[in-house]
Structure 1
Amino acid sequence: MHIDVMTVPQPLDKIGDLARRSQAAGFSGLLLTETGRTPYLNAAVASQSAPGLELSTGVAVAFPRSPFVTAATAWELQESTGGKFRLGLGTQVRTHVVRRYGMAFERPGPRLRDYVLAVKACFAAFRTGALEHHGEFYDLDFITPQWSAGPIDAPDPKVDVAAVNPWMLRMAGEVADGVHVHPLGEPGYLARHVVPNVADGAAKAGRSPSDIAMIVPVMTIVGDSDEERARERESVRASMSFYGSTPNYAFIWDEAGFEGTTARIREKQKAGDFAGMAAQITDEHIAAFATESTWDALAGALSEKYAGVATRLVLYNAFGAQGDPERFERYGEVARRLRAG
């Protein structure tokens, strides 16, 4: 099992240090989200600062960039990491794509499927000089040596997609190399939806489910006293309320026995009551959706929950510990133990 640390992109003069510290601490790689800053430049700097560290976008927003631009960027990062880059893509939600990026959002699932296939066609074109992709949303059939990155001494980058609902999970199994599970993806959701739907998609394409990486972020609350765990517990509560406010994710709460959680969070959200949003996440929610443990027991607790399912485990909270070097290094030691086990 690979163990990554999740981070939002940093100012470019800071990401190199974080990459070196992550590698030294014992993490397999750095997973870069896309927020106010883009993940690709961070990945480029990290690749030069910590050679050998595995890097991935988790996830980059697909539709604002053409498939060719995304493919060319991923190709260069794959070259600069010596084959240790994974391209993680997601749709984002309509409001962001239409109102912030100014792009179309019709039928986002099928569009992302076509996007992934177009990106892979571009990878093939960089090696062969022939570009041929004719899909429902993207038509690509022109490339010349001047406008091609050319072949590299590394395999094609893996292309992963963020997926929550059954259709997207099946699509990931059919055309992607991995699936980014949602941060609310507790073990019951993985068993009910992720594993079987990815397997169905893989079977449709004549692939083995083992060909598709399961990239699973986990929220942890760790410490040897309740006082040590208290701050992280409240941070997890706030994160869960943020993710849980999205209507498309309501079924995850409901199926885990917490019916109506999203509606209650959204009521507080509409009133601008952020503390009230977090208050909707009870200790029972946290017990079901997070892993709380002492430091010595954390690796075992995570292994018990996710071994045999997760290909890459992403420690969601480890980035928050970067301001506390000792705590960050202890998360790294957990990563080392999980990788060894």
Structure 2
Amino acid sequence: MPAFGSNRFDFTSPPAFAADVRRAEHLGWDYAFIPSTPLLLRDPYVNLAFAAERTERIGLGPLIVNPVMRHPAVIASSIATVAGLAPGRTMLTYGAGDTAVRLMGQRPATVARLAEAVTLTKGLLSGEEVEVPSAPRRARLTHAAPVPVWIAAGGPRTLRMAGRVADGVFIRVGRHRANLSAAVDAVRAGAAEAGRNPDGVRIGAVFHSLLGDDLERAALISRSLAAGYYEYSPRLFGPPGFEWNGPPIEELKAKVWPDFHHAADLRESGRVASFLPDEVADAFALYGTPRMIAEQLVQALGDGLPTSVVVAHPMPAPLSGGRSPYLERFATEVIPLVRNQLGGRRPSRPDPATDFPEQSDGV
């Protein structure tokens, strides 16, 4: 039975974030994540530190950070500081950067740079002395803390690399079972290439979620999300047998800013991708009433898909404003249905000693 996490809270101030995470903990959420996007949000580690002081059980971490905006040594130091406030319930997730770095005029990290950052961060967090490029001597993090390091990925090359180096992988490929299975296979193949136990690499899944009764609106936004997945990795249309029958994605991107997943008006960007058929729109986002979303999750996760954590990413997802009713509705109306249908109980407090592999295991 997977744990459930959210990455959208009250971001108006660190105390407001901490209070909202405490509310999520009381509602039964297992993880509270925060994006790292400097131009849109306050510092994630300051927010997490406030939340650590106000909570007792819920897992905490950034989702996602990247090695473009901060050096991996700085990231390791920051998350180790948070781990000192919330021992045993802190995790770190890397990604290429995408929208966050493009807003700063930078390019997302390459697969090689991402792998190097994860390896360096894991070494520092484990207290090892590690080689730092161009540095005169080996580096060591004096306040090292055991924090699992994950990668969020969707493309096959990044997924295989994540299997080689990460403690866990958040797959972002939508909800079609063909894509989910292909992603898990890629992670396991990467782990095997590195001589690791493929079952030792934890799997999480990020699902964009449109919770509500307006199905026409949801269908329109889901087309924008499907186009966003194609924009991110065109290969995701392959396993389900889909074809892109519209204008070239580069041509459409000129009409949407900054991308199909983060457009200010997702209905309007959905109209730009209105040529996508229902079967494609249905393959990438969770949408509809609580019962519909629960059934979609059970369909995606059932039959043995090895998922440790599910992140239900609300859409549209504004990065400002106060508390959202989404946290309470999803926790009280969706999660119990999923757990009932999958026949499991709510997981206990996340514990790196049991929920995550040792960093030295097979690496």
Q: Superposed, which structure 2 residues align to 1:299-310 within 5 Å? A: 299-307=294-302, 308-309=304-305, 310=307
Identity %: 23
TM-score (norm 2): 0.75
Task: Give yes or no for the alignment of 1:165 onto 2:155.
Answer: yes
- 2:351 matched residue in structure 1: none
| TM superposition shift of 1:142 | 4.1
Return the letter of the residue paired with 1:335: I
| TM superposition shift of 1:261 | 5.6
Q: Which of residues 257, 260, 281 in structure 1 aligns to 2:241? A: 257
| TM superposition shift of 1:120 | 1.5
Structure 1 residues 300 and 133, CA gap change in structure 2 (3 angstroms) = same
Q: Which of residues 91, 107, 110 in structure 2 aligns to 1:108? A: 110
Return the letter of the residue paired with 1:86: M
- Separation (CA, whole Å) in 1 of partners of 2:36 and 2:245: 26
Q: Which of residues 317, 321, 325 in structure 1 aligns to 2:314? A: 317
Return the letter of the residue paired with 1:205: A
TM-score (norm 1): 0.79
More helix by proportion, 1 or 2?
Answer: 1
- 2:224 matched residue in structure 1: 238
| Aligned 8 A contact 2:222 2:282 in 1 | no
State the superposition RMSD in angstroms.
3.3
| TM superposition shift of 1:138 | 7.2
| Aligned 8 A contact 1:250 1:262 in 2 | no
Q: Secondary structure at the match of 1:30?
A: strand
Unmatched tracts of structure 2, length 5 or more: 257-267, 346-363
- Separation (CA, whole Å) in 1 of partners of 2:311 and 2:29: 10
Return the letter of the residue paired with 1:25: L
Structure 1 residues 43 and 243, CA gap change in structure 2 (3 angstroms) = farther
Please give the per-residue CA displacement for 1:136-177, whole angstroms capped at 9, x wherever unaligned.
x57684457xx722x55xxx1110112222222111111101
| TM superposition shift of 1:331 | 0.7
Q: Which of residues 167, 171, 175 in structure 1 aligns to 2:165? A: 175
Please give the per-residue CA displacement for 1:6-35, whole angstroms capped at 9, x wherever unaligned.
227823242123212221222111122223
- Separation (CA, whole Å) in 1 of partners of 2:62 and 2:238: 29
Task: Give yes or no for the alignment of 1:73 onto 2:74.
Answer: no
Unmatched tracts of structure 1, length 5 or more: none
Q: Secondary structure at the match of 2:204?
A: strand
- 1:10 matched residue in structure 2: 11
- 2:130 matched residue in structure 1: 132
- Separation (CA, whole Å) in 1 of partners of 2:32 and 2:204: 12
| TM superposition shift of 1:84 | 0.9
- 1:277 matched residue in structure 2: 272
Task: Give yes or no for the alignment of 1:88 onto 2:93.
Answer: yes
Return the letter of the residue paired with 1:100: M
Please give the per-residue CA displacement for 1:267-287, whole angstroms capped at 9, x wherever unaligned.
233245735424244432222
| Aligned 8 A contact 2:118 2:166 in 1 | yes
Return the letter of the residue paired with 1:268: L
Structure 1 residues 21 and 228, CA gap change in structure 2 (3 angstroms) = farther
Q: Secondary structure at the match of 1:17?
A: helix
Q: How many residues align?
A: 319
